[in-house]
Amino acid sequence: MSNLHATELELALNALPRLYPGPGGVAGVVSDGKVVATRAWGYADRARRRPMEAATRLPICSISKQFTCGVLISLFAQFDRLDSGLVRLLPRFGEGRPSVPELCNNQSGLRDYWALSVLLGASAGQTFNRGDAIRMFANVQSGHFEPGTRYSYSNGNYRLLAELIEAETGRALEWHYRDLIWGPAGMDTALATPDTRFPVDDVTGYEGNAACGFFPAANGIYWVGDAGISASLNDMLAYECWVDKHRDDADALYARLARPVTFRDGTPAAYGFGLAHGKLGDFDTTGHGGALRGFRAHRLHVASERLSIFVAFNHEADAHHAATHLGRSALGLPKPRAIAADQSWRGQWICSETGLICRIDTGETGASLSFASEPEQLMPASYGSLRGPSTVVTQDGAALTMSRRKENLVSRLIPLEHIVTADAAEIAGRYACDELDAAMTIDAVDGGVYARFEGFLGVGPMELVCPAGSDTWTVATRRTLDAPAPGEWTLSVRRGKNGAVAGCVLGCWLARGIRYRKIS
């Protein structure tokens, strides 16, 4: 890019260790098809004092999804060849089974399998074998929306794609990565690392922060397709150079991955084939983040400016924010202006479409919307609204209307009066979820309320349950097999004709509308 702001970029790169403190990290920038800057600082393993280097391979986690989709579109001109395999993997789903493109575009409606692992009794750090995912898929009977109508992030979509590709070709996915992408792109040291118990290059991921200290993170999951690739900074920058080399070829692999997609109703979608489409200032971007306990990564591509950025940490700092900060610096974009949000926006609501609690907090830097896995920053805008990159909230009398463009979701937010204490005796007891073949026990003793989940993955820890509103509770699961954790679940009580508690509906953004019946 001829207008690269080299000085601003240099300052931003030098500030990364200070702005995102932790054991170590790497960052690099490609401009006009050439590597113009790299950084590697700190330690890949603090105990053994192994330095972080540009050649150190780190798990890129969900950035792997675009590679899986790249293999898919390279091998199969017609995706319907894989339909019978999808029937085999989702035998109980019945009518309305998602299509392969809907898996690629996170429009399947399938609940995220890492979130469901919580309800099946998983504990953080336990071993999750390859066959465990297949068993989970075999029990799936429904999704949380009709395929093709909305967007919802689901790692299971890409795990299914991996199983379909390997079954149809009779070849491990890693060899397709090597032949179709890694080899041509010059990603010479990239490799498949599906078992997170065995990281390469003696790399350790760390939990914690500068305030409480950093400690090694334990991972035990097997993942492939949705993640499972480790690559160095050198590998990822070679990939970015390869993407730029073929920028003018409309049939090049990355160009095909980045083509616009729509929902079934023709509405443009902001996610397709393992790539998130967004904005950096007025510039269109594609990219993706990645997360595993103790690791964070993000790649950002601005095609019109021939600019690519990759950032990775072996700790849990905000790699997305770091990458966009570098991008804004390279493009000379001003820092977004914060506007104080009026306190009248503050409160909590129930989303009529998903049944989930939606909270808004306000301050001098705008409003914070808690609805999905991570809070979203919104700024006051014209006509009594709050606006973010893909969300608009408008006032509608006592209720609000929330429009989430990325998800193709428009919903009324119904006010939910907040309560601090509630008698949990009615909800205490044991519940069964027939679809998951799982159970939940709620204990209420001397004012303390806790829930425990059980299923074929084991018996989970006691999780905190808190009152939120009338017949509405929250269940916190801050740690799970995958990262980041699904966070807060909304538990909505169902009552029978006699007014007694008959069951509940449990959901989070990643896995909604899960019905339990009370059995004791």
**95/240 same-domain check:** yes
In this structure, is residue 76 part of a structural domain? yes
Cα dihedral across residues 290, 295, 296, 297: positive or negative: negative
| 253-276: b (≥16 Cβ within 10 Å) or e | bbeebbeebebeeeeebbbbbbbb
Please state, in angstroms and rounded to a whole number, the distance separating the CA atoms of residues 253 and 450.
49
pLDDT at position 75 is 98
**84/137 same-domain check:** yes
CATH number at residue 411: 2.40.128.50
The Cα-based distances of 105 to 22, 110, 226, 250 in angstroms read 34, 12, 13, 20
**18/162 same-domain check:** yes
End-to-end CA distance of the chain: 66
Of 442, 452, 466, 485, the closest CA to residue 292 belongs to 485
CB atoms inside a 10 Å sphere around CB 13: 22
**468/441 same-domain check:** yes
What is the DSSP track for 133-148?
A: HHHHHHT----SS-TT
Check: CB of residue 442 under 8 Å from CB of residue 432: no
CATH number at residue 144: 3.40.710.10
Task: Give the end of a domain, one of 415, 441, 472.
Answer: 415
Check: CB of residue 93 under 8 Å from CB of residue 428: no
In this structure, is residue 165 part of a structural domain? yes
Range of the domain at 233: 6-23+41-298+316-331
Check: CB of residue 111 under 8 Å from CB of residue 510: yes
In this structure, is residue 34 part of a structural domain? no
**96/229 same-domain check:** yes
In which element (H, E) is residue 463 found? strand 463-469
Angle of CA points 506, 158, 249, to nearest 5°: 135
In this structure, is residue 89 part of a structural domain? yes
pLDDT at position 480 is 75
What does the pLDDT look like over 192-208, one tens digit per residue? Answer: 999 999 999 999 999 99
In this structure, is residue 79 part of a structural domain? yes
Q: Quick one: residue 208, left, alpha or beta (phi over 0 = left, psi -120 to 50 = alpha)?
A: left
Check: CB of residue 106 under 8 Å from CB of residue 62: no
Query: Which residues lie below 8 Å from residue 501, measured CB to CB, with a gap of 6+?
Result: 426, 427, 429, 493, 494, 495, 518
pLDDT at position 2 is 66
What does the pLDDT look like over 310-366, one tens digit per residue? Answer: 999 999 999 999 999 999 999 999 988 888 999 999 999 999 999 999 999 999 989
In total, how many domains does the chain have? 3
Task: Give the end of a domain, one of 283, 306, 331.
Answer: 331
Give the distance between the most distant pair of CA atoms in the chain.
72
**250/358 same-domain check:** no
pLDDT at position 61 is 97
pLDDT at position 1 is 65
Number of H helices, E strands in the chain: 12, 32
Residues taking part in catalysis: 62, 65
In this structure, is residue 336 part of a structural domain? no
**281/147 same-domain check:** yes
Residues paired with 301 in a beta bridge: 286, 308
Classify residue 248 by burial, with Cβ atoms within 10 Å: 0-12, 13-18, 19+.
exposed
In this structure, is residue 420 part of a structural domain? no
**48/195 same-domain check:** yes
**469/492 same-domain check:** yes
Q: DSSP state, 333? A: P
Please state, in angstroms and rounded to a whole number, the distance separating the CA atoms of residues 172 and 493.
45
The whole model's pTM is what? 0.96
Please state, in angstroms and rounded to a whole number, the distance separating the CA atoms of residues 46 and 58.
15
Find the length of the chain. Answer: 520
**235/356 same-domain check:** no
Name residues of the chain where pLDDT drops below 70.
1-2, 479
What tokens were used for 162? 């991996």
In this structure, is residue 30 part of a structural domain? no
The Cα-based distances of 83 to 80, 100, 465 in angstroms read 5, 7, 41
Task: Give the end of a domain, one of 415, 448, 465.
Answer: 415
In which element (H, E) is residue 189 found? none
**272/160 same-domain check:** yes
Please state, in angstroms and rounded to a whole number, the distance separating the CA atoms of residues 166 and 143.
24
What is the DSSP track for 229-284?
A: EEE-HHHHHHHHHHHHHTTT-TTSHHHHHTS-EE-TTS-EESEETTEEEEEETTEE
In which element (H, E) is residue 506 found? strand 501-508
pLDDT at position 520 is 83
**469/360 same-domain check:** no
